[in-house]
Amino acid sequence: MISQTGEGRVLGLYAALRRLAALVAVLLLCRITLADVEKMLATLQRHGGAPSVFRDWRQLIEDSKPLGTQDKLRRVNEFFNRKIQFVDDIQVWGQTDYWATPIETLAKARGDCEDFTIAKYFTLLDAGISNDEMRLIYVKARIGGPASSVTQAHMVLAFYSSPEAEPLILDNLITEIRPASRRPDLQPVFSFNSQGIWANPNASGVPSATGVGRLTRWQDLLKRAKAEGFEF
């Protein structure tokens, strides 16, 4: 008969082995370093997320890598639009404007338009889409139909097949990926990615000389994402 102390040790060992097995499974699936897995999982669990969410996300990336561009965009867009509930930052983070890393967003399963866009951007980078092909775009979104003059600040992700091409828009408001010409409700303000900031949404042209330093929240987000193991 095992004593209560002995039983507790056995259960503790069993729990530790389960955690180790889950970590190894994630590592094999992700093809990333153990250190990166540990950092990402630590962030996820610190914010209340389950390792299964992390595995689902990494499975999405691995499954998307061999696919064509259109299928990659569709899968990633649908994944986050399905998994993440739109909620204002004040309710999730207690701040009026907080830009979450993809891991933080996955852990909370809630976020606003910036969080959707940021998560899709980093996920598509990991799935093989080039940085040069994507921009996060601040827009004014018209609310209430074509005749409405009411707008609100919004963010979407744009994909460019070439610098001169019309971008495709990934949005949490409309899951169907549409070319920009079919989104007359969106008025671009400026665009950016980890390489810089542009005064227009076009993929061609030189970014602002001041770089991402103009966007302090974006600069802070990039630092936190890099510390979690993201590459960009």
Range of the domain at 163: 31-232
3-state helix, strand, coil in the chain (%, to 5): 50, 15, 30
Helix-helix angle 69-83:113-127, to 10 degrees: 140
Alpha-carbon distances, residue 150 vs 20, 167, 189 (angstroms): 52, 24, 16
Note whether residue 216 is domain-resident.
Answer: yes
Overall domain count for the chain: 1
The reply to whether the predicted model has a pTM over 0.95 is: no
CATH number (domain holding residue 156)? 3.10.620.30
CB 176 within 8 A of CB 186: no
Residue pair 127/63 in contact by the 8 Å Cβ criterion: no
Q: Residue 14: inside a domain, yes or no?
A: no
In a domain, 16, yes or no: no
Q: Is 6 within a domain?
A: no
Please tell me the distance from the alpha carbon of residue 53 to that of residue 49, in angstroms, as a whole number: 7
Burial of residue 91, with CB atoms counted within 10 A of its CB: 0-12 exposed, 13-18 middle, 19 or more buried: exposed
The one-character DSSP state at 167 is: P
- Would you write out the chain's pLDDT as a tens digit for each of its 232 residues? 545 555 556 555 665 556 555 555 554 444 467 778 888 999 999 999 999 999 999 999 999 999 999 999 999 999 999 999 999 999 999 999 999 999 999 999 999 999 999 999 999 999 999 999 999 999 999 988 777 888 999 999 999 999 889 999 999 999 999 999 999 999 999 999 999 998 877 767 777 756 666 789 999 999 999 999 898 8
> CA separation (Å) from 168 to 80, 85, 131, 134, 197?
17, 23, 15, 10, 19
- On whether residue 137 sits in a domain, the answer given is yes
